[in-house]
Amino acid sequence: MAVLVNLDLMMARRKVGVSELAAQIGITPANLSVLKNNRAKAIRFATLDALCQALDCQPGEILAWAPDA
């Protein structure tokens, strides 16, 4: 099973870039890029909360689960 991060889709819908969003939520652009590109192994609830506030969305719009192939 895999948890997927659809952050790139939400960012595109909201027309916000990595640098701008990283500044809004208080993390580095490099760490945001790791999340955006599905390379993260974990995410803090505080970061998820900040993302949801900044993007005006629910956690389920950022995270999705998919069974293994």
pLDDT at position 28? 97
pLDDT (tens digit, 9 = 90+) per residue, 17-69?
A: 999 999 999 999 999 999 999 999 999 999 999 999 999 999 999 999 988 86
pLDDT at residue 1 above 60?
no
Domain with 18 in it? 2-66
Query: Which helix (H) or strand (E) covers residue 52, if one does?
Result: helix 45-55
Q: Which of 3, 5, 55 is nearest to 25 (CA)?
A: 55
pLDDT at position 39? 93
What is the number of domains present in the chain?
1
pLDDT at position 68? 80
| CATH number of the domain encompassing residue 28 | 1.10.260.40
pLDDT at position 63? 96
Give me the phi and psi of 6, to 5 degrees please.
-100, 35
